[in-house]
Amino acid sequence: MEDWVREIVDEERKKRNIPLEAKLLNGNYYLYRSTSRYDRAGRKAVKVSEYIGRITRAGVSEKARETRSIYEYGNSALLYSLSADLIARLQKHFPDRWQDLYALSMVRLMEPVPLKSVKDRWEKLYVSREMEAHLSPNTLTGILRDTGSDEGAQMDLFQSLITESKKLAFDLSSIFSRSENLNMAAKGHNADHIYLPQINMALAFDLDQYRPVFLKSLEGSVRDVKSLRKVLEEIQFDGILVLDTGFSSQDLAEIMSSEMKFIMPLRRNQEMIDYTMEMRSSFVYRDRGIRSGFLNRDSYRIYMFQDQMLMAEESSTFIKMIAEKKRTQKEFDSESIRFGKISILSNVRDDPETIYNLYKQREEIEQAFDAMKNELENDKAYLGDDDSLRGYFFVSFLSLYLYYSVFMLIRAADLTGKLSVKDVLLKFSKVYRIVRGNRETLSEIPSSVEKIDSSLGTNIFPKKLRS
């Protein structure tokens, strides 16, 4: 390589802070981003190159980009303004690819396009001018594999979040896959009773700070309580776990014999529930009257709650079924004692209202988890092996983290009944930034967007841009 070429490459390395190499082709020098990925079939590292531009004595003449002078500004500016904590953690644990991971997670949250279209979607955002992310389809494949194989860095990032947690909601779900390349996919138990190869997903969520702190794929044959035990072995957490109703009676016995602190709703047919329990206290949850009570049993407490509106709804539905000859009055008399009631088992003794609030919080989390699972179902055809899958799960975690950064603003403004995260991002996407040479201006800001910006306290639209 000629000295002048070496000097330019060295300068570009310092400027771009990414691995680069020069290639001599047909008498001309070209600059490439140089990375590698592990080829499982060949059992060796394989170089992956991404073309940047031609090297001349005047510098690097980059490949022609699509001419664009108008960019979506509001949506990416909002997310970026809330990302300082996440970016700092990514820079620490993934210093070589944090920009790629952050950009991919932002796109996944805004619009879950196929992986092959991520680059095009990213380049429509104004933030793409300020952050150098490499999102071509071939590069993305390598990024997902490399990230998935670096489980140590993932766990370090998760642990940095979990260390700050006192109460975690734990959720387990699964997706189905017939891919022969995914060793993780194995036939196992699931809530839908479908006997197909599946991949389990374990999610832990901080209920105090309202953010995800852990998301990992698990082998499909692992049953619920074993998955829970495995996660707890990997993380250092001694707070309270808020579980779901998906655990079997066998799992329940194992959980009760463990030393972990837990809160877990019971299925209505659990034998330990006493539906004649007295409920001597009450409170209001989101304009719904809730009666409550509890029974102490050894080191455990069974809490019972009766939602008065739910009781009336279930009673009315049952009476309609009697009128339609689908149920009988005798069945109503025996089953009505359960109407509107929810029972929670715990070895934590606290005020019933506090326990109920924790239980309801995890319901909100399940909704976001289900949305993420649906997006994964759409993309699983692009995931060729276990490392790619692990990498994709990590990006999904980052997207979920960004999602709750916005959701927390909506929640703090008491607007959850009127606005969703997707609503906010869609409305903010209608504010554009126009670039004309050295001058930049904002498009007209709709009054509805100004109102949301003010209500959330984000104030991301400057009155005047520098020219």
200-210 pLDDT, tens digit per residue, is 778 889 998 98
Q: Which residues, including other chains, have CB under 8 Å from residue 62's CB and lie 6 or more apart?
A: 52, 53
Does residue 133 contact residue 103 with C-beta atoms inside 8 Å? yes
Instruction: Say how many C-beta atoms besides its own lie within 10 A of residue 305's C-beta.
Output: 26
Once rounded to an integer, what is the mean pLDDT over residues 63-76? 79
pLDDT at 407 over 80: yes
What pLDDT shows up at residue 373? 65
Residues composing the chain: 467
Instruction: Give, for 288, the enclosing helix (H) or strand (E).
Output: strand 288-297
Alpha helix segments (H runs only) across 95-223: 98-110, 118-122, 137-149, 151-162
Locate 12 and state its tokens: 């570009």
pLDDT at 80 over 50: yes
pLDDT digit string (tens) for 86-101? Answer: 999 999 999 989 999 9
| Side chain identity at residue 325, one-letter code | K
pLDDT at 189 over 60: no
Once rounded to an integer, what is the mean pLDDT over residues 339-367? 90
Does residue 272 contact residue 349 with C-beta atoms inside 8 Å? no
pLDDT digit string (tens) for 124-169? Answer: 999 999 888 989 887 888 899 899 999 999 999 999 999 888 999 8
pLDDT at 424 over 90: yes
Q: Which residue has the tokens 């190159």?
A: 49
Does residue 90 contact residue 101 with C-beta atoms inside 8 Å? yes
What pLDDT shows up at residue 447? 92
pTM for the full predicted model: 0.77
Locate 213 and state its tokens: 């702190």
* Residue 46 pLDDT class (50, 70, 90 cuts): low
> 173 or 131: which carries more pLDDT confidence?
131
Backbone φ and ψ of 51, nearest 5°: -65, 135
C-alpha–C-alpha distance, residues 7 and 5, integer Å:
5
**C-alpha separations of 350 from 168, 194, 266, 383 in Å:** 16, 38, 18, 45
C-alpha–C-alpha distance, residues 109 and 83, integer Å:
13
C-alpha–C-alpha distance, residues 98 and 121, integer Å:
18
pLDDT at 186 over 50: no
Locate 98 and state its tokens: 């944090």
What pLDDT shows up at residue 247? 67
Once rounded to an integer, what is the mean pLDDT over residues 335-363? 93
What pLDDT shows up at residue 65? 54
Does residue 335 contact residue 318 with C-beta atoms inside 8 Å? yes
Alpha helix segments (H runs only) across 324-351: 329-335
What pLDDT shows up at residue 124? 94
What pLDDT shows up at residue 464? 57
CA 264-270-274 angle, to 5 degrees, is 95
**C-alpha separations of 449 from 146, 288, 445, 453, 459 in Å:** 39, 32, 7, 6, 11
Q: Which residue has the tokens 């299925």?
A: 267
Q: Which residue has the tokens 């008498």?
A: 27
128-132, 194-198, 230-234, 420-424: which has the highest mean pLDDT? 420-424
* Residue 243 pLDDT class (50, 70, 90 cuts): confident
Once rounded to an integer, what is the mean pLDDT over residues 115-130? 92
Q: Which residue has the tokens 């109407």?
A: 339
Measure the N-to-C terminal CA separation of the chain; round to a whole number of Å. 42
C-alpha–C-alpha distance, residues 116 and 104, integer Å:
11
pLDDT digit string (tens) for 299-315? Answer: 899 999 999 999 999 99
- What count of Cα atoms within 13 Å lies in the side-chain half-sphere of residue 153? 18
The alpha carbon of 306 is separated from its chain's Cα centroid by a whole number of angstroms, namely 32
**C-alpha separations of 296 from 26, 259, 303, 401, 437 in Å:** 82, 18, 9, 37, 72
Q: Which residue has the tokens 């109102």?
A: 451
